[in-house]
Structure 1
Amino acid sequence: MARLAGNYTHWHNLVYSTAWLTGRLDHAALREAWRVLCLRHDVMRRAYVSPDEACTYEDVLTEVEFHSADTDDEALETMRRTLVGAPFSLDAIGLSRIVVVRRDDRRHLFGIALDHLITDLTSWNLLVAELGELYERAAAGERIGCETEGAASYQEFAALLRQEFAGRWGEERRAFWRAYTERFGSSSPPLPSAGAAKGEPAVKIVRRALPADAHSRVRQLARQARATPFVVVTAAILAGMKEATGASSVGVSVAHHGRALPYTAKTLGQFVQRVPLHLDGEPGGPLETVRDVFGQSLDVFDYALPLDIVERSWGLDLTSSIGGNGAHVTLDQSGEGFRGSPLAGTRAEPVQVPAPGGHGLVDPLIFAWWLDEAVPRVVVHYDESLITTEAVEAVVDVAARFAVSDGR
């Protein structure tokens, strides 16, 4: 909704992945698989008229683009230009792209791009898996139907959400979030600032290696607190922010899957909802802090809503309470990609095709924990024009010690 209202103009809004495919590629089967996929899922035929109004077309809005190239460099440039060369426009029709660049009969460059308004990571993985299944069936000569089983349409989900929101379910959530903002306030104190931002964000990265056994230590603290590893690393960041700011209350945002309503497990669309987690009061030890944050997480996940939408009708400032810096926390969250081979009979080799200007930052401060890697680490992306490097490093210092502590 923020982008529909004109924000995030520096962000290219593309969710995409590209790969070299080696093996025989059936162009006609891919074209048919994509057509059926788009007809099965209404979100692939969705367009936005305004921040408050969307429409769904009956016909497919995008088709597979086929190109050819004489060299790998030419293929990569063609993919860059056609797949990611321009952001999606809300004034245009079609929020998806699929491109194939042929090098020879057994080698193609393949890419899919979606507007972030119609997908999340779960939806991306569902789309890639279903496209692969449809492609395999089409390549075998099977006639594919456009019906889906066990999945509601995105339009049905949105209608049910509005219906629930207008009743007791919505009133309970309104009362919860009103009480939440009364407790934590409508903003969180900022980290030391580098000054007012001018122009596009100055994206910087801080990487901090963790002990080799960091994963087992985080899991041990989670078991002691009867919480989850994700809550442990989130509590660690909150503890770091509290020490860096000296404030009585600090907050971050985390992602909730948003698929709580029936028949949404296999539905394509943007379901993820950002909810806040805060830490207030006198600082305790890691074990006490994790337990406090875990208890809070049970409530905010249970009452999760698209807060940036409902705050306008409720007259509450909810989104700014998600961390004064727009701080966001993730754990072992890989981005969109093609796992294995997306299309039967081919072998995929991922390749980077940078979008113009890079990804930018949706939030000015993103803490990503990578505990499943060979070298566990914390990686922080931040806007240096808003937040000082010293402040970021101070938070990471505390958070790293907290996460691998024995809980005392």
Structure 2
Amino acid sequence: MTERVPLSYPQHRLWLMERLRPQAPTFNVPLGVWLEGPFDVRGLGYALQETVRRHESLRTVIESDGGGEPAQVVQPPVPTEPDVLDLRGSSGDLDALALRHATEYARRPFRLDAPPLLRVLAVRVADDRHLLVIVAHHIVSDGWSTGLLVAELARHYTAHHSGTPEPQPSAPAQYRDFATWQRALVGTELAGQLAFWRRYLDGAPRELELPTDRPRPPVQGFRGRLHRFALPTEVARGARHTASALGATPHMLALTAFAGTLARYSGVFDLVIGTPVANRPHPDFEELIGYCGNLLATRVDLTGAPTFAEAVLRTRRSVLSTLEHQDVPFELLVEELGAGRDPSRHPLFQCLMVTQDFLPRSAVFGAARARYVELDNETSKADLYLTLDWHGGHPHGSVQYDSDLFDPVTVAAVTEQFLAVLGEGCREPGRRLAHLATARSSVHAEGPPPASP
């Protein structure tokens, strides 16, 4: 009989949400990888099969017993092949056509009880140009896992390409080990951390009412769009310089600027913003593919009209304190605080921000070099989800947004406001945050932004 393993806390919450919207693309985790150079799809098949063999999570399905209680069930390794689409005989803009096919592929739903929960598509645009599309269900993967998956596919492919493929042993830790560790931790060691979160979030607003283009539906629809933008080089350079001077990180500066932007539109100056973290506290879990990530409710205090530098230092203290208590699963915190009862919005916070640093910077598939592209599967789990990538010669970002609430022009204006606040704050950290970029704050309302209390 196949062993049944209990779900981790994040898996269980995802399973419950999936039951409300079965076979929807809401929890698909897609990534596009442009490959420049000669590429062999047969080598990709070898790399995919070897990766799936090594990681149980990529062979896992979620099944319910007679009483409806879900469990992980690992399937035995079977031959695994990528899907292939050849566009070389097509007309028009082949890159745009490849991206359209990639978006459609990213939106194809999974069934949690039917393997596989990972699929890969190779789109051939030219003999030396391919678009690799990797899509996993969130219940078996997360952002950190996506980076591991790309790196491992590249490693196995390159070994095959060089004629030296050698089957590797299974990964030293499997996802069942993480789930078992987390369940045991919750049962014995988290009382002190839970007490911290109760104090930390006491009195914090759980709902952030931004001015929207349409009324909020009574039930969150998870429909969304992706707004991409360039992160100006001077802003990225200024953020690194100012962060170093303040003993902070560019993420902390950007989180402060994002909070300042949200405060400007909402009139709320004590905010809670979601911050995803990899949540791999032990070395054994660092190379683990699976849904380990956690969400931290980061409180940003902008009351009292602080300068940008003062606000960054507050944010720094807040971020560091939450990282010290990150073992508490977000799902358990929501349950403890009774915050998951409103079906119209994400619990505890409606806006999130993450600095993307999980993708390998120089992945090479044999003689082909990789360049990443974020795919829009037209879903959103929150009102606004800001992602920043500071690395490389072209820093960039995106905002995934709830399209039931916001129009594209609104999100573009909010993004411009965020970049202006961040840029001016880095140039003049001694100015009051509420006075930065005031000429750009005209979305939804006329006149200056509300003054900080």
8 Å contact kept, 2:62–2:71: yes
What is the SS of the residue equivalent to 1:157?
helix
1:328 is aligned to 2:352 = yes
Question: Any gaps of 5 or more consecutive residues in structure 1?
Answer: none
For structure 1, which segment, 18-27 or 300-309, has the greater mean C-alpha deviation from structure 2 after superposition?
Answer: 18-27
Q: Distance in 1 between matches of 2:229 and 2:46?
A: 44
Q: Distance in 2 between matches of 1:303 and 1:233?
A: 22
Specify the alignment match of 2:312 in structure 1.
290
Deviation per residue, 1:318-368 (Å, 9 max, x gap): 79998876212234x3796995542x244667789x77xx43323221334
1:244 is aligned to 2:265 = yes
1:99 is aligned to 2:117 = no
For structure 1, which segment, 198-207 or 215-224, has the greater mean C-alpha deviation from structure 2 after superposition?
Answer: 198-207
8 Å contact kept, 1:83–1:112: no
Q: Distance in 2 between matches of 1:378 and 1:67?
A: 29
Deviation per residue, 1:204-225 (Å, 9 max, x gap): 7496975x53233323332333
Specify the alignment match of 2:215 in structure 1.
196
1:296 CA drift (Å): 0.9
Letter in 1 for 2:26: W
How do residues 174-323 of structure 1 correspond to structure 2 at under 5 angstroms?
174-185=194-205, 187-197=206-216, 201=223, 203=225, 205=227, 213-280=234-301, 281-305=303-327, 307-311=329-333, 314=336, 316-317=338-339
Q: Distance in 2 between matches of 1:20 and 1:375?
A: 18
Task: From 71, 81, 96, give the equivalent of 1:63.
Answer: 81
1:46 is aligned to 2:69 = no
1:13 is aligned to 2:28 = yes
Q: Distance in 2 between matches of 1:97 and 1:337?
A: 20
What is the SS of the residue equivalent to 2:72?
strand
Cα gap change, 1:30/1:197 in structure 2, threshold over 3 Å: closer, same or farther? same
What is the SS of the residue equivalent to 1:16?
strand
Q: Distance in 2 between matches of 1:201 and 1:54?
A: 28
Q: Scaled by the length of structure 1, what TM-score is found?
A: 0.79
8 Å contact kept, 2:63–2:73: yes
Cα gap change, 1:119/1:406 in structure 2, threshold over 3 Å: closer, same or farther? same
How do residues 359-378 of structure 1 correspond to structure 2 at under 5 angstroms?
359-369=378-388
Cα gap change, 1:308/1:23 in structure 2, threshold over 3 Å: closer, same or farther? same
Cα RMSD (Å) of the superposition?
Answer: 4.1
8 Å contact kept, 1:25–1:106: no
1:127 CA drift (Å): 1.9
What is the SS of the residue equivalent to 2:158?
helix
Specify the alignment match of 2:51 in structure 1.
37
1:197 CA drift (Å): 4.0
What is the SS of the residue equivalent to 1:11?
helix
Deviation per residue, 1:248-293 (Å, 9 max, x gap): 5212112212111231111112222221222234231112111111
For structure 1, which segment, 79-88 or 247-256, has the greater mean C-alpha deviation from structure 2 after superposition?
Answer: 79-88
Q: Distance in 2 between matches of 1:81 and 1:379?
A: 16
1:173 is aligned to 2:196 = no
8 Å contact kept, 2:346–2:381: no
Letter in 2 for 1:11: T
8 Å contact kept, 1:98–1:113: yes
Q: Scaled by the length of structure 2, what TM-score is found?
A: 0.72
Cα gap change, 1:37/1:216 in structure 2, threshold over 3 Å: closer, same or farther? closer
8 Å contact kept, 1:240–1:394: no
Letter in 2 for 1:38: V
Question: Any gaps of 5 or more consecutive residues in structure 2?
Answer: 1-9, 432-453
Q: How many residue pairs get matched? A: 398
What is the SS of the residue equivalent to 1:87?
coil
Specify the alignment match of 1:120 in structure 2.
142
Letter in 1 for 2:257: A
1:97 CA drift (Å): 1.2
Letter in 2 for 1:360: T
